[in-house]
Amino acid sequence: MKTTDATDHFARHRHPRATRTQGLLAALAAMLVPGTAMADYTWNFPTPVTPIARDTLKIHNEFMIIIGILFAVVFAIMIYSMVKHRKSVGHAPAKFSGPTGAIQWIWALVPFAILLFIDFVIMGIPAYHAVIDMEDTKTKADMVLKVTGMQWKWQYEYPESGVKFISNMSTPRDQIANKEAKGDHYLLEVDNEVVLPVGKKVRILLTATDVIHTWWVPQFGVKRDAVPGFLRETWVKIEEPGVYRGQCAELCGKDHGFMPVVVRAVPEPEYAAWIEKKKGELAAAAAGADKAWSKDELLAKGKEVYEAQCAVCHQPDGKGMPPAFPALSGSKIVTGPLLSPDGKLLKDSHVDRVLNGKEGTAMQAFRNTLNDVELAAVITYERNALGNSKGDLIQPAQIKALR
């Protein structure tokens, strides 16, 4: 069923109380008539926009009806017995302790046979087809999207065009701390949306850099873990343009609740234009690595990068949250030497830590996710702000040479 809000179902619709109640009643009525659109209410799956999600919703609705009937029948029998066979109405207890005679055996075995049929035929056969369909990521796939989970953001990569970017939650921390009114897409909004073409089969490859994350957009009907060191895959074919919101579904550390997934599905030409625009941005950024940057430019850019990438753990003031997330203010590593006298990377130095991370901790290797300018800027910023004043700087070109 197509409604006006189908494109952005995940947004909250602030119905007046009465409309909500009416909605709930209508939904209850819909429950009684199998096959009607239950999906428009928040107490069922959100409106499906992929073939898989549609199948899943159909299967789910059928199953709910089946188990609803099972529940009603079984407990109607039990309640009947509780009413009729009670001591207070003078019912004398029977003595049987098992089936006696053919009729009773039939009574005992028929429910068992019905359940067997429900399990492996009514539920089992559609489930089989759904699994085969869901796991068929390769047949007629039009394009590939690579998704990398990391604490606590997603990186998206389009291997065909080389476009690659990080997607961070954009909900202001003040909204979370209740200092500011919460927006419509509270916790489900990002700085860089991932854009996909409508009507194309997109093969999604998933991995992670640190711990296990799970990529989930409820309206797509797919949920798959992103496992560090391995590739997992799934697929989507979005049927309607719109913005679809989801979030990480596997506990992945402190900000697990704050790594949303936002997908914008657009018609093919619009998608092609968007890819071209992104390519242009990447080329401009790469060109930036070859020019010499002034310290002020680096500090300004560095502050921006620090706040987007680092502040979540090391805190906006650089004081960190020891022992898990050390302070950068006055840190031995940050205030240590920048590079060796001949311009080489020093082991366990500030530059090494930012580029290569620290194994076994949440400190990740940012060489994979930030470009040369961003790395140079953030390193320079950390050494000259947050209570540190080393006075030195590193140029993007130097980072480029160290890679």
Partner 1 sequence: MSHATTAPHDSHDHAHHPSGILRWLTTTNHKDIGTMYLLFALLMFFVGGAMILAVRVELFQPGLQLMKPELFNQLIGVHALVMIFAALMPAATGFANWQIPLMIGAPDMALPRINNLGFWLLPPAALLLTLPFILALFGIGDGAVATGWTLYAPLSVQGGLGVDFAIFSIHILGISSILGSINVIVTIFNLRAPGMTMMKLPLFAWGWLITAFLLIATIPVLAGAVTMLLTDRHFGTHFFNAAGGGDPILFQHLFWFFGHPEVYILLLPLWGLMPHVLATFSRKPIYGYTAQVYSFIAIGLLSVVVWAHHFFTAGMPVPALLYFMYSTMSISLPLAVLFFCWIATMWKGSMSFETPMLFAQGFIVLFGIAGLTGLVLADVAADAQYHHSYFVVAHFHYALFAGGIMGVMTGVYYWLPKWTGYMIDEKLGKLHFWLTIISFNLTFMPQFFVGLAGMPRRIPDYALQFAEFNAISTVGALILGFSQLLFAYNIWKCMKGDAYGLPKAESRAWEGGESLEWELPSPPPHHSWETPPVIK
Instruction: Find the binding residues for partner 1 in span 256-275 (CB under 8 A).
Output: 256-258
DSSP states of 113-161: HHHHHIIIIIIHHHHHHHHHHHH--STT--EEEEEEEETTEEEEEETTT
Cβ closer to partner 1: 38 or 163?
38
Residue selected from 101, 269, 323, 341 as contacting partner 1 according to rule CB under 8 A: 323
Report 273-312 residues binding partner 1 (CB under 8 A).
Answer: none
Residue selected from 251, 272, 287, 346 as contacting partner 1 according to rule CB under 8 A: 251
**Could you tell me the smallest distance in angstroms from the CB atom of residue 348 to partner 1?**
17
Report 7-46 residues binding partner 1 (CB under 8 A).
Answer: 10-12, 42-46
Cβ closer to partner 1: 178 or 389?
178
Report 95-154 residues binding partner 1 (CB under 8 A).
Answer: 95-99, 108, 111-112, 115-116, 119-120, 123-124, 127-128, 130-135
Residues 303-320 as b or e (16 or more Cβ within 10 Å = b): bebbebbbbbbbbeebbb
Report 165-204 residues binding partner 1 (CB under 8 A).
Answer: 175-178, 182, 184-188
User: For the range 287-296, what are the long-range contacts, defined as Cβ-Cβ under 8 Å and sequence gap of 24 or more?
Assistant: 288/372, 288/373, 288/396, 289/371, 289/372, 289/373, 289/396, 289/397, 289/399, 289/400, 290/396, 290/397, 290/400, 291/396, 292/395, 292/397, 293/373, 293/376, 293/377, 293/395, 293/396, 295/380, 295/384, 295/393
How many whole angstroms separate alpha carbon 153 and alpha carbon 88? 64
How many whole angstroms separate alpha carbon 46 and alpha carbon 54? 10
Cβ closer to partner 1: 42 or 161?
42
- Per CB under 8 A, the segment of 250-258, 268-276, 345-353, 370-378 that binds partner 1 is 250-258
How many whole angstroms separate alpha carbon 71 and alpha carbon 68? 5
Report 198-237 residues binding partner 1 (CB under 8 A).
Answer: 210-212, 214, 216, 218, 221-225, 227-230, 232-233
Cβ closer to partner 1: 121 or 283?
121
Cβ closer to partner 1: 52 or 373?
52
Query: Alpha carbon 122 to chain centroid distance?
Result: 32
| Contact by Cβ (8 Å): 164, 282 | yes
**Could you tell me the smallest distance in angstroms from the CB atom of residue 68 to partner 1?**
8
Where does residue 232 fall: left (phi above 0), alpha (psi -120 to 50 degrees), or beta otherwise?
beta
Cβ closer to partner 1: 216 or 274?
216
**If binding means CB under 8 A, how many residues of this protein chain bind partner 1?**
102
Token pair of 329 as six digits: 């203010």
**Could you tell me the smallest distance in angstroms from the CB atom of residue 324 to partner 1?**
5
Report 69-98 residues binding partner 1 (CB under 8 A).
Answer: 70-71, 74-75, 77-78, 81-82, 85-88, 91-98
Residue selected from 6, 23, 60, 270 as contacting partner 1 according to rule CB under 8 A: 60
Of the candidates 309, 356, 346, 348, the one whose C-alpha atom is nearest the C-alpha of residue 331 is: 348
Cβ closer to partner 1: 155 or 214?
214
How many whole angstroms separate alpha carbon 219 and alpha carbon 53? 6
Cβ closer to partner 1: 78 or 272?
78
Residue selected from 30, 52, 263, 393 as contacting partner 1 according to rule CB under 8 A: 52
**Could you tell me the smallest distance in angstroms from the CB atom of residue 393 to partner 1?**
32
Count Cα atoms within 13 angstroms, Cβ side, for 376.
28
Q: How many residues in total does the chain contain?
A: 403
Is residue 314 at the binding interface for partner 1, with CB under 8 A as the rule? no
